[in-house]
Amino acid sequence: MEKKTALVTGASKGIGRAIALVLAKDGYHIIVNCRKDGPDAQAALAGIAKAGGSAELLCFDVAKKESTEIVAAWLEKNGPLYALINNAGIRADSLLVWMKDEDWHGVIDTNLTGFYNITRPVIKEMLLQRKGRVVNIASTAGQAGIPGQVNYSAAKAGLIGATKALAAEVGKRGITVNAVTPGFIATAMLDGLPIDEIKKRIPAGRLGTPEEVAAVVSFLCSSSAGYITGAVIPVNGGIYM
């Protein structure tokens, strides 16, 4: 059987790396995306190889349209993807009254416009092959709203809305589109936050792990999840219900 290919954006570390690794173990050939090559990207590739999987590196910035043109070029040369994981994301926290223009646009462009830049060329090829999986990594912040994260909450809420609308558009072509909403996951994205205080607010009493998020993505990309689309699946320890 021909090996299926999955593109994971922001796959050099954190949740993205965990997703890339579990999908490689599931038998996918992985396109590891990051903005530029470096130690983190090489570590992600090495981890996949050590696990017996296959991967390649594709460097581009999801927020920049001209940078993402490499995706269309890859598809033209290699054919359609089976799975797309829109994981790339950034934070730039500040109360709205003090938020800088560049922090608003930077977060929106990466977390939401990045979805558009990548998904549009990929979904065209999926429609032609009449199958595929799109999983968007949103956030609890897009459901509940987090003070100091108006930009991040807006972007992730928009991603949830885009997930539902796209699922309705492409469902008849055998393509599923779902969102996963991590809560507080133990990655560098939490740097600078009051972790001990946060844990007190989580019913599970702890932070989540990247592997717990990756396990849900693995299921959504499997054949067992063919009747699940337009769903928003929380991985948040109960902090938002």
The residues assigned a catalytic role are 152
Burial of 38 (0-12, 13-18, 19+ CB in 10 A): exposed
> Are the C-beta atoms of 60 and 48 separated by less than 8 Å?
no
> Are the C-beta atoms of 215 and 233 separated by less than 8 Å?
no
- List CB contacts of 110: < 8 A, sequence separation 6 or more: 62, 63, 88, 89, 90, 155
Dihedral sign of CA atoms 41, 68, 232, 26 in order: negative
| Helix (H/G/I), strand (E/B), else coil: 92 | coil
Alpha-carbon distances of 130 from 51, 125, 177, 181, rounded to whole Å: 30, 9, 13, 26
For residue 176, the cross-strand partners are 133
